[in-house]
């Protein structure tokens, strides 16, 4: 069970799709794990439950940081939870596994909210504001041989993520896919997304993917 302070993203299909891929990743007490955009800390906690002892979680939201700290304590795991912007709080460190389920929903405009629930999903007009920054920043915090597991909607350009990570020298593949029905946010944006040609008029589902990027040893 996960505690959640109001305003923090409740773990959903995207969270669980990424969590499912963690099982296939060997985690030992020495594996250094970084969860970027941790929310409730669900993914950081899952990594700890699967055997990682050196887990760090980052979120920009004060409420999310407090929630993740409480969840770590309730579940009796030691997780270092830091408030900050993506990799900024850990920019001088190296991790063996970086996981992230960031905001990726195409929004009305390119302004990123600095408060409220929308901070958990709004990601600029193309949905890539956070994804592009993660692709650019993560290789710098990945240890040699390290792995990135990144969840996103195909509506926000999974191909572009693959290309950006490959350009950074990572070996990239898609390790999980799932069609999920539009939730309330996408349902409310259906007309806008149709007008932009991002979805078809009769579309009611989006494909979620988990992209894996591996740093050469
Ligand atoms: C889609 S939610 C995912 C939460 C959690 N990882 C999960 O899968 O349930 C995205 C999270 O990213 C956080 N976030 C948004 N912008 C951020 C940024 N620039 N740096 C760090 N975290 C950010 C939000 O506060 C929110 O908790």
The per-residue pLDDT for 153 is 98
In this structure, which residue's CA is closest to atom 17 in ligand 1? 60
The CA-atom distances, in angstroms, between 117 and each of 26, 103, 112 are 33, 11, 12
Tell me the per-residue pLDDT of 55-83, one tens digit each, with 9 for 90 and over. 999 999 999 999 999 999 999 999 999 99
List, in order, residues 6 or more apart from 195 with CB less than 8 Å away: none
**60, 82, 87: residue to mutate for ligand 1 pocket, most atoms within 8 A of CB:** 60
The pair of three-digit structure tokens given for residue 100, joined into one six-digit string: 């992230």
> What DSSP element (H or E) covers 43?
helix 42-49
For ligand 1, is residue 85 a contact (CB within 6 Å)? yes
Q: Which residues of the chain are under the pLDDT cut of 50?
A: none
pTM across the whole model: 0.98
Q: Which atom of ligand 1 is nearest to the CA of 151?
A: 8
The edge-to-edge listing of strands for the beta sheet with 142-153 is 79-83, 54-59, 32-36, 95-100, 142-153, 205-214, 171-181
- What is the C-alpha to C-alpha distance for residues 101 and 161, in angstroms, rounded to an integer? 13
DSSP of 150-188: EEEEGGGTHHHHHHHHHHTT-EEEEEEEEEEE--HHHHH
Q: Is 105 exposed, middle or buried (0-12, 13-18, 19+ CB in 10 A)?
A: buried
The per-residue pLDDT for 133 is 98
The per-residue pLDDT for 74 is 97
Kindly give the distance from the C-alpha atom of residue 40 to the centroid of ligand 1, in angstroms, as a whole number: 9
For ligand 1, is residue 61 a contact (CB within 6 Å)? yes
Kindly give the distance from the C-alpha atom of residue 117 to the centroid of ligand 1, in angstroms, as a whole number: 10
For ligand 1, is residue 161 a contact (CB within 6 Å)? no
**103, 122, 178: residue to mutate for ligand 1 pocket, most atoms within 8 A of CB:** 103
The per-residue pLDDT for 69 is 98
Kindly give the distance from the C-alpha atom of residue 75 to the centroid of ligand 1, in angstroms, as a whole number: 21
Tell me the per-residue pLDDT of 9-37, one tens digit each, with 9 for 90 and over. 999 999 999 999 999 999 999 999 999 99
**6, 33, 37, 79: residue to mutate for ligand 1 pocket, most atoms within 8 A of CB:** 37
- Report the length, in residues, of the chain: 217
Domains of the chain: 13-182+208-214 (3.40.50.150)
The per-residue pLDDT for 112 is 97
């Amino acid at each position: 069970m996960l505690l959640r302070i109001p305003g923090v993203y409740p773990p959903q299909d995207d969270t669980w799709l990424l969590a499912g891929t963690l099982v296939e990743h060997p985690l030992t007490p020495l594996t250094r794990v970084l969860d970027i955009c941790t929310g409730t800390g669900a993914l950081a906690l899952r990594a700890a439950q699967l055997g990682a002892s050196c887990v760090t979680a980052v979120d920009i939201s004060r409420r999310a940081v407090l929630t993740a700290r409480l969840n770590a304590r309730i579940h009796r795991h030691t997780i270092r939870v830091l408030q900050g912007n993506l990799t900024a709080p850990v920019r001088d460190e190296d991790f063996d596994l970086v996981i992230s389920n960031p905001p990726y929903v195409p929004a009305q405009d390119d302004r990123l909210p600095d408060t409220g629930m929308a901070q958990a999903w709004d990601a600029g007009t193309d949905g890539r504001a956070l994804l592009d920054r993660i692709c650019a920043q993560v290789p710098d915090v990945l240890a040699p041989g390290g792995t990135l597991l990144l969840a996103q909607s195909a509506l926000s350009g999974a191909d572009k993520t693959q290309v950006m990570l490959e350009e950074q020298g990572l070996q990239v593949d898609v390790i999980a896919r799932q069609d999920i029905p539009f939730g309330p946010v996408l349902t409310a944006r259906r007309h806008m997304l149709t007008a932009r040609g991002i979805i078809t008029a009769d579309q009611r589902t989006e494909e979620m993917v988990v992209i894996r990027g591996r740093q050469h040893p």
